[in-house]
Amino acid sequence: MLELINVRKTFNPGTVNEKKALQGLDIKLNEGDFVTVIGGNGAGKSTMLNAVAGVWPVDEGRIILDGQDITALPEHKRAALIGRVFQDPMMGTAPNMWMEENLALALRRGSRRGLRWGISNAEREMFVERLKTLELGL
Ligand SMILES: Nc1ncnc2c1ncn2[C@@H]1O[C@H](COP(=O)(O)OP(=O)(O)O)[C@@H](O)[C@H]1O
Ligand SMILES: [Mg+2]
């Protein structure tokens, strides 16, 4: 489902700050896999996720998602295919929008969006039900 083949990324190449963050990373994940990546500070965990999300181009290697080579696909186009929760809670959410509006945006990921009413009553009820399970009083 998600495959990284020989992915390489060096930051600030050819300078004193050169950092080889990914040196030929191979990973193959199948649908339904739940994976925890463990590594010390600076090991390259975030760099790996950024490579998958397309934050910047990788130097070498290929990234395949559901059989599609997305290596050259820009981040905003990959966003239709990939959901991401950021380490920094201020990233990936719109703080000036209601929580249900944020959830509605997430629900429509990858589907066509037009100028229509944003949230249906059924969706609103679904959000409330799902949020209840977190027991955070939301
Ligand atoms: N945008 C960047 N510019 C320069 N160096 C970076 C950048 N992002 C990460 N690095 C470096 O790449 C290495 C891996 O970092 P990172 O992937 O953030 O590690 P982790 O998430 O495992 O703590 C570190 O040495 C880090 O300083
Ligand atoms: Mg990190």
Domains along the chain with CATH numbers = 2-78 (3.40.50.300), 99-132 (no CATH)
pLDDT in tens, 78-112: 998 998 888 887 888 898 999 999 999 889 888 88
Q: Which atom of ligand 1 is nearest to the CA of 39?
A: 22
What separation in Å is there between the alpha carbon of 42 and the centre of ligand 1? 5
- In this predicted structure, what is the pLDDT of residue 57? 97
118 pLDDT tier (thresholds 50, 70, 90): confident
Q: What confidence score (pLDDT) does residue 89 get?
A: 79
Two tokens at 107? 């629900």
Nearest CA to ligand 1 atom 2: 11
Distance 30 CA to ligand 1 centre (A): 26
65 in contact with ligand 1, CB cutoff 6 A: no
Residue closest via CA to ligand 1's atom 17 equals 44
- Asked if 7 and 20 touch (Cβ cutoff 8 Å), the reply is no
Which residues is 137 bridged to in the sheet?
none
In sequence order, what are the residues at sequence separation of 6 or more whose Cβ sits closer than 8 angstroms to the Cβ of residue 104? Answer: 118, 119, 123, 127
pTM: 0.87
* 33-82: pLDDT as tens digits: 999 999 999 999 999 999 999 999 999 999 999 999 999 999 999 998 99
